[in-house]
Amino acid sequence: MKGICILGATGSIGVSTLDVVARHPSLYKVIALTANTNIEVLYEQCQDHHPEVVVIVDEHKAKIFAEKIQNTPMSDIKVLSGAKALEQVATLDAVDSVMAAIVGAAGLLPSLAAAKAGKIILLANKEALVMSGAIFMQAVSDSGAQLLPIDSEHNAIFQCMPAGYKTGMQAKQVRRILLTASGGPFRETPVDQLIHVTPDQAVAHPNWDMGRKISVDSATMMNKGLEMIEACILFDMTPDQIQVVIHPQSVIHSMVDYVDGTVLAQMGNPDMRVPIAYSMAWPDRFDSGVAPLDIFEVGRMDFQEPDLERFPCLRLAYDAIAAGGIMPTILNAANEIAVEAFLNETVRFTDIPVIIERCMQQFEATVADTLDIILAADRQARLVSRQIIAEL
């Protein structure tokens, strides 16, 4: 029986994780659930899973929640608030596995705390890794933590790696990685129409049902840019070893190309419960609740090279990793601010790469060898991006 803490329980990945947990009550016990503000969903999750402790980052909402569970069978659930409490629950002794599913930079400190505490980390929060790369991987190796990727592509790659492979290792037999991308909702929209894209259109992903931020990232393909950086860090590869492949059917979740000419692909229906269940059962396997792949219904699979003119965010991600140092942190922070502004209808869809590029131009790619440097770069890039938006 393993104890699990789900950081970001009320989000898309959190909900899918609890769906898998519910299928295996003899293998997993929910110790901690966390939310930013969504106490309605958290309340239902507590009814179903009865954790020992919850964190609601928002203090006011935490108070309301604590009152709401009084005089119910849930009154023994401990309610904490504030960002620091996320780190506290991710490192509890009763917690063996931590699902890191907070969106954005807010997930960095609790995910890193889990890494330092030697937990099994199921990492969905790619932004944390993009920001802290080497520091994160060092923390994992120092503590003996186990880092399993949840991002479907990285989970696919991990599954296609040689036997005994651990994240962070260099696999010499591997020539390159083929990182698949759906191309999002605007794969074929005329480029001159992209200026008119609305938030609702951008979050309507053709194949995956995800949170709003990652859905916009998929539409700009910044998601693939972040994933390219994530793959370099997780699998100790260089950017030129990662080929992004547009595969609109989203059936192959990525491929590993070996030196002997073998290419291994992992396939399945596009449902995040597959990589979640794989990582929860690892090194074994168990039921995820996902229907078997109907290969005849899939019928055909297409592959295209991405167009960097249509998707400038992908180019910016290659620029950021080539520059190194704090630049991936700057890229990520500027993207978070730009996407938020787009979702609030303050800027246009096509302003997103403009804001990020202008922000990156304001920084030197100085060394990012401490957490303080990374957090300071993140803060400054947010200020600069807001300034750029104000001046647009």
| Least distance between ligand NAD and beta carbon 9 (Å) | 6
From the list ligand NAD, Mg ion, none, partner contacted by residue 8 (C-beta under 5 to 8 A by kind) = ligand NAD
Residues 6+ away with beta carbon under 8 Å from 334: 355, 356, 359, 360, 381, 382, 384, 385
Contacts with ligand NAD in 250-279 (CB under 6 A)?
Answer: 272
Query: Judged by CB under 5 A, does residue 217 bind Mg ion?
Result: no
Report the largest interatomic distance among the alpha carbons of the chain, rounded to a whole angstrom. 65
| Least distance between ligand NAD and beta carbon 32 (Å) | 13
Cβ nearer to Mg ion, comparing 12 with 34 = 12
3-state class of 15 per DSSP? helix
Alpha helix segments (H runs only) across 23-72: 39-49, 59-69
3-state class of 281 per DSSP? helix
Q: Are 80 and 54 in contact (CB under 8 A)?
A: yes
Query: Judged by CB under 5 A, does residue 230 bind Mg ion?
Result: no
| Least distance between ligand NAD and beta carbon 211 (Å) | 3
| Interacting residue with ligand NAD among 36, 218, 288, 329 (CB under 6 A) | 36
Q: Are 354 and 302 in contact (CB under 8 A)?
A: no
Cβ nearer to ligand NAD, comparing 8 with 353 = 8
In order, the DSSP letters of 153-212 are: HHHHHHHHSPTT--TT---TTEEEEEEEE---TTSSS-GGGGGG--HHHHH--SS----H
| Interacting residue with ligand NAD among 18, 21, 35, 112 (CB under 6 A) | 35
From the list Mg ion, ligand NAD, none, partner contacted by residue 12 (C-beta under 5 to 8 A by kind) = ligand NAD
Cis status, amide bond into 283, omega within 30 of 0:
yes
Cα Rg for the chain, rounded, in angstroms?
20
Query: Judged by CB under 6 A, does residue 126 bind ligand NAD?
Result: yes
From residue 46 to residue 65, what is the string marking binding to ligand NAD with x (rule CB under 6 A)?
-----------x--------
From the list ligand NAD, Mg ion, none, partner contacted by residue 11 (C-beta under 5 to 8 A by kind) = ligand NAD
Burial 289-308 (b: 16+ CB within 10 A, else e): ebeeeeeeeeeeeeeeebee
Closest CA to 202 of 83, 75, 351, 320: 351
Taking phi over 0 as left and psi of -120 to 50 as alpha, with beta for the rest, 304 belongs to beta
From the list ligand NAD, Mg ion, none, partner contacted by residue 257 (C-beta under 5 to 8 A by kind) = none
The number of beta carbons lying within 10 Å of the beta carbon of residue 198 is: 12
From the list Mg ion, ligand NAD, none, partner contacted by residue 102 (C-beta under 5 to 8 A by kind) = ligand NAD
Query: Judged by CB under 6 A, does residue 106 bind ligand NAD?
Result: yes
Q: Are 244 and 306 in contact (CB under 8 A)?
A: yes
Query: Which of 166-174, 208-216, 314-322, 350-358 is the region at the interface with ligand NAD (rule: CB under 6 A)?
Result: 208-216
Query: Which of 6-14, 179-187, 333-341, 374-382 is the region at the interface with ligand NAD (rule: CB under 6 A)?
Result: 6-14
Closest CA to 152 of 270, 62, 72: 270
| Interacting residue with Mg ion among 151, 271, 336, 340 (CB under 5 A) | 151
Cβ nearer to Mg ion, comparing 195 with 204 = 204
| Least distance between Mg ion and beta carbon 341 (Å) | 23
Query: Judged by CB under 6 A, does residue 214 bind ligand NAD?
Result: yes
Cβ nearer to ligand NAD, comparing 36 with 279 = 36
| Least distance between ligand NAD and beta carbon 26 (Å) | 26
Question: Which H/E stretch holds residue 130?
Answer: helix 126-143
Query: Which of 11-19, 242-250, 288-296, 313-321 is the region at the interface with ligand NAD (rule: CB under 6 A)?
Result: 11-19
Cβ nearer to ligand NAD, comparing 21 with 365 = 21
Q: Are 299 and 347 in contact (CB under 8 A)?
A: no
The residues binding Mg ion (CB under 5 A) are: 151-153
The residues binding ligand NAD (CB under 6 A) are: 8-14, 35-36, 38, 57, 101-103, 106, 124-127, 151, 208, 210-211, 213-214, 272
